[in-house]
Amino acid sequence: MARGTARFSPSALQAQRLNTDGRPDRTSLTAEELARRVGAAKSHILAYENGHRVPDPPRISALAHALKVQPRQLMDLTDGRAWTLADWRRAQGLRAQDVVEILGISVKNYRRFETEGIVPSRRPQFVDEVARALAMRRPAVEAAMDRTPAVRRRQARAYELVVALAELYVPRRGPWRGPAPDDPHLTELAAAYGRPVQRLQRVLTHELGELRQSQVRALRERVIADYDPDRDRQANAQYAVDRWSEVYERDLGLIPQRLERFHRTAQPSDLWQILADLYTVDATVRADAGTWVPTALLGRPADVLPPHFVEHCDVGDVPVCRLTAQGANHVVSFHGLYAALYPTTRRPLRPAAVAARGSGKARAATAEAFTLPGHAQRLVVPHPVLESVRLALTGPRTSFHLALSPTVGLMVALNTLSASPADQSPPEPAPATPE
């Protein structure tokens, strides 16, 4: 068979041409009629159906259009769970060049993605873009990436490299500094993921640092197990040694998978800050199905936020958003790696922790929420926004107006939040009383 069309099914083409399913909106076609519709010879159609020739992706797309079906309906779907991204693309009747033009990316970058599973570092939503281009769901795209031979080889090799780095650096005495930037294992790992060495060094300093903590705890318990005169304490310490050793081995084995997932979904610092702030105000579907954050308060257009991490809708004419369960899980899973990459950004906090900090400790989490007239949804203001606005409320100024939409605004006072008309200007400071 021709390269790139091994998943084509001759029997599926014949079944669709003859309308063997008896669909009422279609009639069967002769091979000659189908050939005429796609601009081919009758002999070509018969060769396709007999397995003597295999159509290329554009011809598959033309056949599907003529038969009023999806291109993938002309494929052998029995082993769809074994398909790679290239298989799914061809099943959509697309060449690599077609996808390159749809996505507006270089051929080199797309080829690296399709054959090696390397996501372009400057396109944090690239996997979602590919899913739309191939008419697939994002989880299906990621599953296909995992089946790519180069990805499997990378994870196997990554485990070997991470183990070597752990054995070399985790037991070292003194302050923890992580792997040396010029370590050849680190250099190879960075090249495998298509990322700068400095980035991998920061990420692995965090990951190996967590392993180091497990090892330190195991060593402390080992001292008790070996030298404590009390037999019960010795037995408990030995159990703890075994437990921390298991944690160490488990976490070591997970690092290559975490590196793979993180480099597919990692966000730039400004978008990570938004995700962290959304998590901090607890605007997630897990916690409260009626809690949202006005998008205007995030400082970025809604379409730059990852669609699988952030859900959008309108309350009245106010655009709002909240984290999806996937978004919340991403924050929980990778907040340590983001802190290593972007040490100056705010870290995600739970609402109780926010309420206990500084000037906010007297305010309950509900003090940061408000509702719009005629709507039940609670709208939450990110804590950094409230903090910056309230710090500006000095002197005679007692409130501040924030625009949420063309018709709705938010009036922020020292202890209250309330919706207000968008054209309501902030009150002028009262004139100073002469002495």
DSSP letters for 312-335? EEEETTEEEEEE-HHHHHHHHHHH
Q: Which two tokens stand for residue 12?
A: 């599926």
Report the pLDDT value the prediction gives residue 289, as an integer from 0 to 100. 57
* pLDDT recorded at residue 5: 59
Q: How far is Cα 228 from Cα 392, in angstroms, rounded to an integer?
A: 59
User: Cα(104)–Cα(432) distance, rounded to whole angstroms?
Assistant: 60
Q: How many helices and strands, by DSSP H and E, does the chain display?
A: 17, 8
Joined tokens for residue 430: 């009262």
pLDDT at residue 19, rounded to an integer: 84
Distance, CA of 326 to CA of 425 (rounded, Å) = 39
Q: Residue 314 in contact with residue 296, Cβ under 8 Å?
A: no
- Run of H or E residues at 403: strand 399-403
Residue 417 is predicted with a pLDDT of: 86
Tokens of 38: 């796609």
DSSP string computed for 52-114: S----HHHHHHHHHHHTS-GGGGB-GGGGGG--HHHHHHHTT--HHHHHHHHT--HHHHHHHH
Cα separations (Å) of 406 from 118, 185, 298, 424? 41, 55, 16, 11
3-28 as b/e: b if 16+ CB within 10 A: ebbebbbbebbbbbbeeeeeeeeeee
pTM: 0.81
Q: Which of 166, 162, 179, 148 is nearest to 264 (CA)?
A: 148
Query: How high is the pLDDT of residue 423?
Result: 67
User: Cα(42)–Cα(9) distance, rounded to whole angstroms?
Assistant: 18
Ranges of the chain whose pLDDT falls below 70: 1-6, 282-290, 350-367, 423-435
Q: What confidence score (pLDDT) does residue 108 get?
A: 93
pLDDT value at residue 354: 45
Considering only CA atoms, which of 247, 250, 150, 230 is closest in space to residue 194? 150
pLDDT at 122: 83
User: Tens digits of per-residue pLDDT, 70-81?
Assistant: 888 888 877 777
How confident is the model at residue 359, as a pLDDT?
46
pLDDT for position 298: 87
What's residue 367's pLDDT? Answer: 41
Q: How far apart are CA 30 and CA 374, in angstroms?
A: 61
312: β partners:
321
> What span, in angstroms and rounded, lies between the C-alpha atoms of 315 and 379?
9
